[in-house]
Amino acid sequence: MSKIVVTGGLGYLGSVLVKHLADRGNEVVVVDNGLVRRMPSDTERIRHVYGDVREPAEWEEALRGASGVVHLAAIVGDPACDLDHELAWDTNYLGTIRLAEACGRAGVRRLVFASTCGTYGVSRGETADVLSPLRPRSVYAETKVRAEHYLLSRRSDDFAPSILRFATVYGLSPRMRFDLAVNIMTAQAVLERKVTVHGGRQWRPFVHVRDAAAAATLALAAKPAREAEIHNCGSDAENYSLAEVGWTIQQEVGDVELDILEGIQDPRDYRVGFAKTERALGFRPNHRLIDGIREIKNAVRAGEYRDFTSTRYSDFLIVRQMLAAVTRLAS
């Protein structure tokens, strides 16, 4: 049994990953500030520690004896980061630096860092791989690029970071999000009989949240490599234009209007290759886009998530609410 620390373990991916690790016999310590979800009770294999990644000195004792750390804690997504750039940089970049320093003090060698394929920004018609130029088009992506560079600059015999650039994640999670493309469009299709796509021509890679958790687990277990460890996490077959995603949802749900707003364009447009990750980690996703659409459709039709526009399902709305509360307290 290994001890694994997961920062941001109450979040969308973290909630799935923590269960995935515990089900495989690991002792899991969740470090989270409780912003997106209340702290649940501890179980035999899962312990929860209240902590902010910006202040690891307050909880770094939890790192002692850990064989690895998966660092998910962040202000996630372009809209949430745009609410407060200083908070985004302090959390996503400086928080990563402080965590890496704490890992050094605790003797933790392995750190798996959750980055994003959004770091590629625009692939200009080509398929991006880990050697492709990074063209971040948002503060969120910029914070991830800087954090990647810092972690890789610290590589040594005593510190082995592994960078996972996740495709756009979708699927059901104990801490559900409906500010992600596939999730929100599917819920909208079921409940409002409409799918709205902004632009539509731009490409994105996609990965199911359970496959993303499996990739992080494989990265933890992988033998540290001599070269920089950077992995794209997704599938070559799961690159789609957003219009294709909308059409697939329309076909699966049925009797749905597809509204493509071509005048509203997202500057991010990239296709990504994933063959290196399969070779290096043995990672092959087990889910297709249609699987995620179908499970969300079934959950919504069963009566779950009828309030899918609620604040609790959106990182952007949660951060906005938190910032408003801070402003009120300061006034």
Domains and CATH numbers, the chain: 3-176+206-238+268-287 (3.40.50.720)
Listed in sequence order, the residues at least 6 apart from 158 whose beta carbon sits closer than 8 Å to its beta carbon are 104, 107, 109
Q: pLDDT at position 262, please?
A: 80
Give which of 128, 109, 110 is closest to 118, Cα–Cα: 128
Could you tell me if 165 and 276 are in contact, meaning their C-beta atoms sit under 8 angstroms apart? no
Q: pLDDT at position 264, please?
A: 65
Considering only the C-alpha atoms of the chain, give the largest distance between any 2 of them, rounded to a whole number of Å: 58
* Token couple for 270: 């990239």
Could you tell me if 179 and 79 are in contact, meaning their C-beta atoms sit under 8 angstroms apart? yes
Could you tell me if 271 and 203 are in contact, meaning their C-beta atoms sit under 8 angstroms apart? yes
Could you tell me if 158 and 103 are in contact, meaning their C-beta atoms sit under 8 angstroms apart? no
How many whole angstroms separate alpha carbon 74 and alpha carbon 71? Answer: 9
| DSSP H or E run through 4 | strand 3-7
Q: pLDDT at position 38, please?
A: 87
Q: How many residues does the chain have?
A: 331
Give which of 216, 168, 175, 178 is closest to 20, Cα–Cα: 216
Does the model's pTM come out above 0.85? yes
Could you tell me if 286 and 223 are in contact, meaning their C-beta atoms sit under 8 angstroms apart? no
How many whole angstroms separate alpha carbon 190 and alpha carbon 252? Answer: 10
DSSP letter, residue 108 = -
How many whole angstroms separate alpha carbon 8 and alpha carbon 28? Answer: 12
Q: pLDDT at position 124, please?
A: 75
Q: pLDDT at position 10, please?
A: 98
Q: pLDDT at position 71, please?
A: 99
Could you list the pLDDT tens digit for every one of the 331 residues in the chain?
Answer: 699 999 999 999 999 999 999 999 999 999 999 999 888 888 899 999 999 999 999 999 999 999 999 999 999 999 999 999 999 999 999 999 999 999 999 999 999 999 999 999 987 778 999 999 999 999 999 999 999 999 999 999 999 999 999 999 999 999 999 999 999 999 999 999 999 998 888 999 999 999 999 999 999 999 888 778 999 999 999 999 999 999 999 999 999 999 998 876 677 889 999 999 999 999 999 999 999 999 999 999 999 999 999 999 999 999 999 999 998 888 7
Q: CA–CA distance from 135 to each of 74, 129, 139, 210 (Å)?
A: 20, 13, 11, 28
